[in-house]
Amino acid sequence: MEHISFATDYMAVLGRIYSTGTAEDYKADNALQAQLKITPLSACGTDDIPKAPPVQTPAPFSMTDKPQKVILDMGMEGYFDRMATLMCKVAPPSRDDVAILGRMKEIGIEPCKDFAPDTLEPAVQAALESVPKDALAKIKANRKVMGTTVNGWTITKGLGAYGTDYLKRAVSLPSGGLPTARRMRSIPIQQRTARVPP
């Protein structure tokens, strides 16, 4: 058994089950999926059934809207306040983030502290106002950082170990680039805006 440590409270376990696409095969796949389970190490070999943590109600944001819409609906203050909250315990910064944390502090963004834009100069507030929208646009425009395009496919490299390449990290998730290992080897991605012959 290999112990894999995580710096945050969240992790993703990706599993793939091949299906031929027939109703009979889907039934077999579903039966196999029903056998999958995740058990905390402390409960292994016991009859303890882990309970999922309670769901926050009402949710702090829509659970059905697209993430991009959720971000824009937060507005500038909500966006950065949520960011500071997540950096407190859920996704604490790593040692590599020291430099960017210093820059963020200059505009009032610090882990575990409420973001208070009214304490900033009016010019700074105005500059930050469009950041959520600008960030989404920059992510969309920089899909090229994912890798090399070959025959219409983007061949990605280096996913799962981003260091301080924040743009690549941001671009990889909406593109379906969840790493299948702590350091992703390579994964092909294709995005189309219209139906074209394969």
Phi, psi of 4 (to 5 degrees): -115, 115
Contact 176, 142 (CB under 8 A): no
For 133, other C-beta atoms within 10 Å of its C-beta total 14
Domain range annotation of the chain: 142-198
CA distance 80 to 75: 9
DSSP conformational letter for 43: G
pLDDT at 101 > cutoff 90: yes
Phi, psi of 19 (to 5 degrees): -135, 145
Contact 111, 92 (CB under 8 A): yes
pLDDT at 190 > cutoff 70: no
pLDDT of residue 68: 86
pLDDT of residue 195: 47
Contact 125, 150 (CB under 8 A): no
Q: Whole-prediction pTM value?
A: 0.65
Assign 175 a pLDDT band (cuts: 50, 70, 90). Answer: low
Sheet-wide strand order for 153-157? 147-150, 153-157, 186-189
> Tokens at residue 156, please?
């990605």
CA distance 142 to 177: 14
Q: Which residues, in sequence order, are CB contacts of 80 under 8 Å at separation 6+?
A: 108, 109, 115, 117, 128, 131
Phi, psi of 150 (to 5 degrees): -130, 115
pLDDT at 106 > cutoff 70: yes
pLDDT of residue 105: 94
pLDDT at 154 > cutoff 50: yes
Residue range 2-11: average pLDDT?
Answer: 73
